[in-house]
Amino acid sequence: MTALNKLEDYPGSNPGWVLSVSGKETVGGWKAVSPYGTVHSAVVPKDDGTFGFARPAYRQARYCQTIVWGRAKDGKVRLALIAQARPHSDAPGFKNFDQPNEPIMFLTSPMGFLNQVQGKIETAIAAAMREMSEEVGESVVLSKWQHPYGLNASPSFETTFGDICAIEVDISSVIPADHDPEEPIAGHFWLTVKEWMAVVAKGTFTMPDGQIAYPCFGASNGAILAFLCTHPLIMAEAL
């Protein structure tokens, strides 16, 4: 049974979660809502229907992971990856959870939420094309692909499946994006599949200026792996 049950349905059960808003604490069921998703308390019952355990469930607005790829002049497939700081993340091994740390740089595929266009949610492919334009650049598009199911990056607390799309481009025709200053991108890189695999194995990527970026294991790397598994000939070239 999915974790849609509310704490109010289990009087006397205390999972230990407390919501604090402006210094005021709430014990029991709660829900926080934003344009980008919701977070709410959710109960997972036992088989007999009694209270099992509760933890926050995070439902994101619909989003898409975009694999931008193409063949370079040497004939090798390259993946477009961007380096971007993610202020929500702790540093690896960071223990002082209530204290700030410098934003952590991640190396990821382009990603973003699906926009509303004239009252309708844009398609995943349309979102992928837009994200490519905004984060990688304009290019001649050779093919488009969408995974049938997408991925759930962390099903222990996240409810949402995001879409996965791949856009094949003519790398020689790419006009680099003029990035939104409110979403600063530290750099973008065209890595071969073998180079990407080496980054995943090492766990870090050293940028030309010496900064360290971490591969985004849940969402971005999961999307790239799904793409490679459904395009085995591309994977085979790197092995």
**Per-residue pLDDT in tens (0 to 9) along the chain, 239 residues:** 456 677 777 777 766 677 788 888 877 677 888 888 888 888 888 888 888 887 788 888 889 999 999 999 999 999 999 998 886 777 777 666 666 667 888 999 999 888 876 678 899 999 999 999 988 988 999 999 999 999 888 887 888 889 999 999 999 988 887 766 666 788 889 999 999 999 999 999 999 999 999 998 778 999 999 999 999 999 888 87
Domain ranges, residue 222: 63-238
Asked if residue 103 and residue 151 are part of one domain, the reply reads yes
Within 10 A of 22 (CB to CB), how many other CB atoms are there? Answer: 4
Asked if the structure places residue 185 within a domain, the reply is yes
Count of structural domains, the chain: 2
Asked if residue 83 and residue 41 are part of one domain, the reply reads no
Asked if the structure places residue 1 within a domain, the reply is no
pTM of this structure: 0.86
Asked if the structure places residue 96 within a domain, the reply is yes
Asked if residue 231 and residue 143 are part of one domain, the reply reads yes
Asked if residue 137 and residue 162 are part of one domain, the reply reads yes
Asked if residue 218 and residue 101 are part of one domain, the reply reads yes
Can you give the pLDDT at residue 124?
A: 95
| Residues 133, 68: Cα–Cα separation, whole Å | 10
Asked if residue 13 and residue 68 are part of one domain, the reply reads no
Can you give the pLDDT at residue 29?
A: 72
SS3 147: coil
Asked if residue 126 and residue 173 are part of one domain, the reply reads yes
Asked if the structure places residue 2 within a domain, the reply is no
Can you give the pLDDT at residue 67?
A: 96
Can you give the pLDDT at residue 41?
A: 80
> Looking up tokens 């990527």, which residue turns up?
205
Q: Are the beta carbons of 43 and 54 closer than 8 angstroms?
A: yes
Asked if residue 214 and residue 126 are part of one domain, the reply reads yes
Supply the CATH number for residue 203's domain.
3.90.79.10
Asked if residue 162 and residue 111 are part of one domain, the reply reads yes
Between the alpha carbon of residue 191 and those of residues 33, 77, 99, 217, 228, the distances in Å are 38, 8, 35, 16, 14
Can you give the pLDDT at residue 207?
A: 93
- For residues 170, 175, 181, 187, the Cα torsion angle rounded to the nearest 10 degrees is 60
Can you give the pLDDT at residue 218?
A: 77
Within 10 A of 30 (CB to CB), how many other CB atoms are there? Answer: 16
Asked if the structure places residue 143 within a domain, the reply is yes
Asked if residue 87 and residue 29 are part of one domain, the reply reads no
Q: Are the beta carbons of 155 and 196 closer than 8 angstroms?
A: no
Between the alpha carbon of residue 3 and those of residues 33, 46, 94, the distances in Å are 18, 11, 30
Can you give the pLDDT at residue 11?
A: 74
Can you give the pLDDT at residue 144?
A: 97
Can you give the pLDDT at residue 180?
A: 63
Asked if residue 114 and residue 76 are part of one domain, the reply reads yes
Q: Are the beta carbons of 62 and 121 closer than 8 angstroms?
A: yes
Can you give the pLDDT at residue 95?
A: 62
Asked if the structure places residue 188 within a domain, the reply is yes
SS3 236: helix
